[in-house]
A and B are shown apart, each in its own frame.
Chain A
């Protein structure tokens, strides 16, 4: 593979670059967050109108993090790589979907990168449920609305209520099944998220 390319590895042949219409003037964000290999890029690819692209952000400064030995570094740099795709919604609006790793250092950049995000999808691999605890905790901390989607690699061993229990997920957070490889399935996850946001927003308007 060409080491200089910023395309995400393992793609279908690239589609030609599709420019946005000149009328588009407002971009929205949704973030898909989850542990390593849980299917974030796969989900972005399944619904995106462009092949997923990858980029990174760095943050330098004192007190960002604590290094592996537990000591605070004088000056540390945090680098986070993330990928993204895009869905044109109508003549004015476009939606950007970000696939972001849920590991600890990522959350230092959450506000910088994802302020103004509509909501998040937490992707869970049931074989490694614990990977998503941290992400759920951080989203709650940031006051970011989210839903949880179980990406089924194998026949699931547990029911969704059992998974809800294992995640200590409150009843008002939607929990759905999906297969991130399939467009229809990934699309329905996004729709479930936006339906959830719609309900929250409607409730917010009616009780100011």
Chain B
């Protein structure tokens, strides 16, 4: 089970992965911020960074990156911060993520409805 997989994660691995940092800028990424690679991995790069750059050749949400890497979301955000800071990825933020927003305008919801009906 996934819970056991992550709970039983060797703490050393999480430490290594994040270089010992425990927090990313909380607000830098939403769960569904879409990540797109801006460059290819380079030799000698940290393996998680390499994996992210490969995975995100087309847009991938933060939460999907976390699931694929089998790491907690907060750890993935730290990794993504590194890549964003060095310009290796671009982040497409959700239009609805700013604070506790009111409802999206009807036009947006209409698009969601049409999309669902086409399912």
Contacts and interface: CB of A to CB of B under 8 A. Distances in A.
Interface of A: 1, 3-6, 8-9, 19-22, 24-29, 47, 53-60, 79, 81, 84, 86-90, 93-96, 98, 111-118, 143, 145, 183, 187, 190-191, 194-195, 197-198, 200-202, 204-205
B104 interface: yes
A124 B63 CA distance: 26
A20 B35 CA distance: 11
A143 B100 CA distance: 9
Contacts of A197: 103-104, 109
Contact of B112 (A79, A89, A114): A89
B94 A3 contact: no
Chain B, interface size category, equals 35 or more
A194 B5 contact: no
B113 A3 contact: no
Nearest to A196: B109
A96 B61 contact: yes
Contacts of B61: 27, 86, 94, 96
B70 A24 contact: no
B99 interface: yes
B109 A4 contact: no
Interface of B: 1-7, 22, 26, 30-34, 36, 57-61, 63-64, 66-68, 70, 72-74, 92, 94-106, 109-117, 119
A56 B73 contact: yes
Contact of A27 (B1, B34, B66, B109): B34
A9 B115 contact: no
A90 B114 CA distance: 9
Q: Which of A6, A98, A112, A190 has the most CB of B within 10 A?
A: A6
Contacts of B94: 26-29, 116
B60 A115 contact: no
Which of B26, B33, B94, B111 is the most central at the interface, judged by chain A CB atoms within 10 Å of its CB?
B94
